[in-house]
Structure 1
Amino acid sequence: MKDAMTPTPANLRHLLSDATTRLRAAGIEAPQREARLLAAHAAGTDLAGLLRIDTLPPADHATFMQILQRRLHHEPMAHITGHTGFWSLDVAVSPATLIPRADTETLVEAVLDHLPDRNAPLRVLDIGTGTGCLLLAVLTEYPQATGIGTDINPDAARLATRNAARNGLAARCDMLCCNWADGITGPFDLILSNPPYIPHADLKGLMPEVVRHEPARALDGGADGLVAYRALAAILPGLLAPGGIAVLELGIGQDHSVPALMHEGGLRILEIRPDLGKIGRALVMKK
């Protein structure tokens, strides 16, 4: 007789139906899609491959039940799978960094419009690089460009280094552990940053996935959400090359306060580009 705890084969349709119900009850958005993503990960396939599966074998069934419990406790899907997509890249993630968001791709779109020469030998700096996703996305679009990513967290810098190798870009960039751009010598044709910008009092109101699992240091923008921008306003003019641009991510409602800070620091605003939600997201500037 089998032990009651021994994993058994499971009908995938029934498994997905039950998981969807449980995920919906836990307040997970798009529960049906999330259930399918979990099943695909457990089965070692993708959503298309999942269509060819009727039954999960015992080992995959056990894995699915384990990772379903993690998702029910609001652990981010990217942490469960260990990676996520950004731009044209697949990047590894960890609790040391923010999970790349689609909104941040707005910065890459802005760069492409303001620097139209794809063969330009750009020198790029990404301040607070996290997973390295912004810098690496730009390098894929500009094959002659080179770059430096900085992060105060050594675990983040190591992760960004791995992501550069993962995407075949290690020869064109260095990921360094430092505070902002300490010890970095310009000039740079392009400076990128997605800094911490959530006002401290607002952190507790963020989604459980964010509050429980993403690093507060990468989110907390101080009392007014502007601490990081003040630091950037002080250093960007000295790092930008003549004709170079800086592109920063903005938080909700910061499309007036941050440009004012940057203008006071000696930068000229070229554009505030909205994301798909019509929120001013990418601030483009030059000296």
Structure 2
Amino acid sequence: MVDTDPLGLTGDDIDLSSLYNGVKRAFREAGLATPDLDARLLVTETLGVSTAQLIANPRMRVAPDLADALKARVRERLSGRSIGRILGRRAFWSLDLRVSPSTLEPRPETETVVELALALLQPVETTALIADLGVGTGAILLAVLSERLNAFGVGVDISEDALREAERNAERNNLADRARFVVANFGAALAPQFDVVVSNPPYIATSVIETLDPIVRDNDPRLALDGGEDGLDAYRVVFSQANQMLKPGGTLIVEIDPNASGEVIREAAEHGLSAVTLATDLNGDTRAVALRRMNA
């Protein structure tokens, strides 16, 4: 009897090659953006094999329970869940990060904030204190700390569940000794001692959230997406707190919607902050802005 599983295989087709090719085929037919990469990640993680084994041992037999687990994950991916949500972890910068329902899933464009922070923290042996507002998984803060060995950081989030995830990620990436985590509304609990403050705040206008890609809309916490009526509510809070966070000459770096860079910069100016650097992501879109106090 033919098994009508998502891979279109018969019950006997459970060697490594058949499964891997079946997953790639299913993802390509579904029109996924990165079908081969998604297939490789699901197959290697679920079956416990390496990429080298996919090439060197394609006829390796796969236990039926593992094949069933893979098919279940394929169904999840085809239903609209991201690879990171399915596996419960996501690569960001050089880090392996856990993700959970309480955290935004880190995305490549956010690495633009990391690059901008690292460019400001020169030379590399610089001793610095960094804060990450809305730290989530800890992605930005931990990426910066991983590259600047004399830097120390504080991660802030209003969600205690998110902070626990960030703490776990600091431990799993051997950065816990240089990172502390605090429950607060952005910078409300901080003192003016930070060289660099980074943030990827919620910046999606409330009315736009329902139009987002289901992978984002249905999986990322709304708290991490909803920027209010015009998408600028979180920026207003962060900008109003700049004086109580930044030391003289300190820099605030925020991720932005490329289509709203002008609005963000104007809002910053109303709070006494001037844009000193704009940074683009790999698509050439303006994704981050560095700001300093005008009277600093």
Does the alignment pair 1:222 with 2:245?
Answer: no
Correspondence 1:173 to 2:179: yes
- Per the alignment, residue 63 of structure 1 pairs with 69
Query: How many angstroms apart in 2 are the aligned matches of 1:159 and 1:127?
Result: 15
Is 1:212 paired with 2:197?
A: no
In structure 2, relative to structure 1, the CA distance for the partners of 1:29 and 1:178 (3 Å cut) is same
Letter in 2 for 1:14: S
Answer whether contact 1:237 1:267 (CA < 8 A) is retained.
Answer: no
Residue matched to 2:39:
35
Give the structure 2 partner of residue 44 of structure 1: 48
TM-score by length of 1: 0.92
User: What is aligned with 2:137?
Assistant: 131
Partner Cα distance (1:227, 1:35) in 2: 39
Question: Contact 2:16–2:54 at 8 Å: present in 1 too?
Answer: no
RMSD of the alignment, in Å? 1.9
- Give 3-state SS (helix, strand or coil) of 1:51's partner: helix
State the secondary structure of the residue aligned to 2:204. Answer: coil
8 Å contact from structure 1 (residues 87, 137) kept in 2:
yes
The 2-side partners of 1:49 and 1:98 are apart by: 32
From 160, 167, 170, the equivalent of 1:164 is 170
Taking structure 2 as the reference length, the TM-score comes to: 0.90
For residues 43-192 of structure 1, the aligned pairs below 5 Å read: 43-54=47-58, 55=60, 56-192=62-198
CA distance in 2, matches of 1:61, 1:236: 53
Q: CA deviation at 1:45?
A: 2.9
**For structure 1, which segment, 8-17 or 109-118, has the greater mean C-alpha deviation from structure 2 after superposition?**
8-17
Amino acid at match of 2:23: A
Q: CA deviation at 1:8?
A: 6.3
Q: 1:46 to 1:98 in 2, by over 3 A?
A: farther
Distance 2:132 2:237 in 1: 14
CA distance in 2 between partners of 1:170 and 1:264 (Å): 37
Q: Which amino acid aligns with 1:19?
A: V
Task: State the percentage of identical aligned residues.
Answer: 36
Q: Is the 8 A contact 1:127 1:151 kept in 2?
A: yes
2:195 maps to a residue whose letter is D
Alpha-carbon shift at residue 200 of structure 1 (Å): 1.2
Report deviation, 1:225: 0.7
Distance (whole Å) between structure 1 residues aligned to residue 234 and residue 31 of structure 2: 32
Unaligned residue ranges in structure 1 (runs of 5+): none
Q: Distance in 1 between matches of 2:188 and 2:244?
A: 12
Kept after mapping to 1: 8 A contact 2:128/2:152 = yes
> Which moves more between the two structures, 78-87 or 128-137?
78-87
Residues 249 and 281, structure 1, Cα contact 8 Å, conserved in 2: yes
253-262 vs 111-120, greater mean Cα deviation:
111-120
Deviations 1:107-166 (A, max 9, x none): 111122222122222111100000001111111111111111011111100000000111
Distance 2:211 2:56 in 1: 41
Q: Look up the match of 1:256.
A: 262
Distance 1:149 1:131, change over 3 A: same
1:13 aligns with: 17
The alpha carbon displacement at 1:83 in A equals 1.2
Asked whether the 8 Å contact 1:150–1:181 carries over to 2, the reply is: yes
